[in-house]
Amino acid sequence: MANVDFDSFKEVAKDVLDGATAGVKGFAIERMPFVKGFCRMCDDGWLQGWHERNGGNLTYRMTDEDINAARPFFDAEPREWVSMGVTGESLAGSYFLSTGSGKYMRNVADDPAHNIGIVEVNEAGDAYRIVWGLLDAAKPTSEFPSHYMNHCVAAERTNGANRVIYHAHTPGIIEMSFIVPLTDHDFTRRLWQMMTECVVVFPAGVGVVPWMVPGGAAIAEASSELMKTYDTIVWAHHGLFAAGPDFDTTFGLMHTVEKAASLYVAARVANGGSEDWLNKIEDKGLIDTCHDFNIAINESFVG
């Protein structure tokens, strides 16, 4: 009898200890600034109406400091390596915080461990494995190959400054896909003309990927080609893909481009469908603004 009691005591004690350890681990990692910033951005996008159902995804390339702080909370046994279907050598060995595939942005802040996770990319730059979070057999976003390839290109272009890639189902940009020719030139000029500071926020303009099947290597390759030039890429009839050095800048970029897109659609409706505006910002205005802000405008879109 004494033995039985002792065994049950041990079991209860183990459960309590496991629960407490899990609680402390979850709590600790969720309190880290990069995880808090990530969760806040998911919520901000949800509040903007950009993330119906599981629409959209977010990844963040962790700093060495982030990795060192988070490592004690990684799973004792990392999960299986999963092929990405693309290869990017420049960020091989990096760690990313990623939203989960099929997960809803509106749920991220309430329960990070089930909705987001940390993945490690292998030394060949062609596979990942989950080391924290994404509990109950969840996986990183289906757009992870696109995110990874674009991280590689954006980090190279910015000497390592770029850390965030964000995809959202922004309604104004999707509406524009129906009525504006699907070229970098046509989208960029119209967006710049909508609001004075657009040209300051995205002076390189925006790239446009025609409609493509989401989630595969093809859209990853097409986007990463454009990422050599642009921080923002339109996915026709789908949404936007944006890159930046931190959460604020990337969210601000997405917000600015999407606001310009909705202004364009609203102004066009108000103008009876015509693009023959009574008043508009002329090319000289765009060039002068960049000159005064000491910013290099993409000259292929003006003049």
Q: What does the binding site for ligand 13P look like in residue numbers (CB under 6 A)?
A: 54-57, 99, 101-102, 141-143, 167, 214-215
Closer of 106 and 189 to ligand 13P (Cβ): 106
CB 254 within 8 A of CB 202: no
Amino acid letter, 97: L
Q: Comparing C-alpha atoms, which of 47, 217, 202 is closest to residue 148?
A: 217
| Terminal Cα distance for the chain, rounded | 91
Closer of 50 and 230 to ligand 13P (Cβ): 50
CB 217 within 8 A of CB 85: yes
DSSP 8-state assignment for residue 121: E
Q: By three-state DSSP, how is residue 233 classified? A: strand
Closer of 170 and 289 to ligand 13P (Cβ): 170
- Residue in the structure block whose two tokens are 């986007």: 223
Q: Comparing C-alpha atoms, which of 141, 171, 199 is closest to residue 48?
A: 171
Q: How far is the CB of 184 from ligand 13P (least distance, A)?
A: 21
- Residue in the structure block whose two tokens are 């999963």: 82
Query: Could you tell me the two tokens for 207?
Result: 């790239």
Q: How far is the CB of 52 from ligand 13P (least distance, A)?
A: 9
Closer of 163 and 167 to ligand 13P (Cβ): 167
Catalytic residue at 143?
A: yes
Amino acid letter, 111: D
Closer of 108 and 302 to ligand 13P (Cβ): 108
Closer of 54 and 256 to ligand 13P (Cβ): 54
Options 11, 65, 77, 143, the catalytic residue? 143
Q: How far is the CB of 292 from ligand 13P (least distance, A)?
A: 38
The span from the CA of 61 to the CA of 98, in Å, is: 9
Q: How far is the CB of 139 from ligand 13P (least distance, A)?
A: 8
CB 38 within 8 A of CB 60: yes
CB 242 within 8 A of CB 269: no
Q: How far is the CB of 272 from ligand 13P (least distance, A)?
A: 34
CB 142 within 8 A of CB 167: no
Q: How far is the CB of 284 from ligand 13P (least distance, A)?
A: 39
Catalytic (active-site) positions? 143
